[in-house]
Amino acid sequence: KPSSRVTIVEMAPRDGLQNEKQPVDTARKIELVDLLSDCGFERIEVTSFVSPKWVPQLADAAAVMAGIKRRSGVRYTALAPNMQGFEAALAAGADEVAIFASASETFSMRNINCSIAESIERFRPVAAASRERGLPLRGYVSCVVECPYEGAVPPQNVVNVAWQLRALGCYEISLGDTIGRGSPEAVDRMLAAVLGELPATVLAGHFHDTSGRALENIAVALERGLRVFDAAAGGLGGCPFAPGAKGNVDTVSVHDYLSARGYDTGLDKDKLARAAAFARSLRSAP
């Protein structure tokens, strides 16, 4: 019988706030993380140590990390695209770092200014340093079904990148439907291909909800054996380099969906609702 435990990795402070038009005060970001810390998450993605010229929304990454109340049992994670980001994340006390690659060449260029192959080379020292420091390393693959620039992405491209991230030492690879336009059929085909090379236990699903099909995509992934999903309180999210990318699937919806099907997320529904309301209050007016 498959495990009934499902882990939700909370994304609102990072994937959520990276895409907000109006700057959000550092103090309010800290308040959001602190509210999320009480909900029962094992992992909260707090911020990114990326170029402030590329993502000004997260330029206060170190200040946010310094200001949060750390709750024991919660891992506070951050994105790090290169060694400069890794060193900054380490200095700020990140418990885990994530490197992020793409299954689409054009998106790789637009997002991190290098080819897929160059990105893997750039991640190599980050992987070595995280291993040396004993920091868990997570990997993302973006555009696993569709690219905002190239359209449909062949599943084999996803397999190749996921495999390379795993070979670098990522304990988990999060598969991102970056623009949230994946159909359950396309997600299923992509997962079948990736599962030919990697076990479900090292995969996570990261669904944006542009087409409103994220829960269906989660259902497909559950059927395929995945038990870790990324979601953002309040449905915040999107990528500044992926035109049309809307919010991440809402953590509350994922929690409700999973609970109704007998899965245990370990989350406190009332506290989650409070954190989600606060997250929504940070959103810029459309």
Contacts with ligand HMG by CB under 6 A lie at 15, 18, 48-51, 54-55, 79, 81-82, 84-85, 88, 100, 111-113, 140, 142, 176, 178, 206, 208, 239, 241
Rounded-to-integer distance, Cα 68 and Cα 84, Å: 22
Contact 118, 99 (CB under 8 A): no
Q: Which does 40 bind (CB under 5 to 8 A by kind): Mg ion, ligand HMG, none?
A: none
Q: Which does 123 bind (CB under 5 to 8 A by kind): Mg ion, ligand HMG, none?
A: none
Q: Which stretch binds Mg ion (CB under 5 A): 9-17, 39-47, 76-84, 194-202?
A: 9-17
| Nearest residue to 106 (alpha-carbon basis) of 148, 144, 139, 145 | 148
**Among all residues, whose Cβ is closest to Mg ion?**
15
Residue 2 in tokens: 């498959």
Tell me which amino acid residue 202 is.
V
Q: Which stretch binds Mg ion (CB under 5 A): 14-22, 98-106, 145-153, 268-276?
A: 14-22
**Among all residues, whose Cβ is closest to ligand HMG?**
176
Q: Residue 217: enclosing H or E segment and its boundaries?
A: helix 214-223
Task: Select 220 or 232, whichever has its Cβ closest to ligand HMG.
Answer: 232
Residue 251 in tokens: 């953590």
Name the DSSP class of 233. G
CB of 65 to Mg ion, least distance (A): 20
Residue 239 a catalytic site member:
yes
Task: Select 1 or 181, whichever has its Cβ closest to Mg ion.
Answer: 181
CB of 245 to ligand HMG, least distance (A): 7
* Candidates 39, 143, 170, 239; catalytic one: 239
Rounded-to-integer distance, Cα 33 and Cα 270, Å: 16
CB contact burial 225-255 (16+ within 10 A = b; e otherwise): ebbbbbbbbbbbbbbbbbeebbbbbbbbbbb
Give the binding-site size for Mg ion (rule: CB under 5 A): 1
CB of 272 to ligand HMG, least distance (A): 21
Task: Select 39 or 245, whichever has its Cβ closest to ligand HMG.
Answer: 245
- CA 143 to chain CA mean position, Å: 12
Question: Residue from 10, 14, 15, 108 that binds Mg ion (CB under 5 A)?
Answer: 15
Task: Select 241 or 278, whichever has its Cβ closest to ligand HMG.
Answer: 241
Residues with Cβ within 8 Å of residue 19, at least 6 apart in sequence? 57, 236, 237, 238, 239, 240, 245
Which residues participate in catalysis according to the annotation? 239
Residues in touch with Mg ion (CB under 5 A):
15
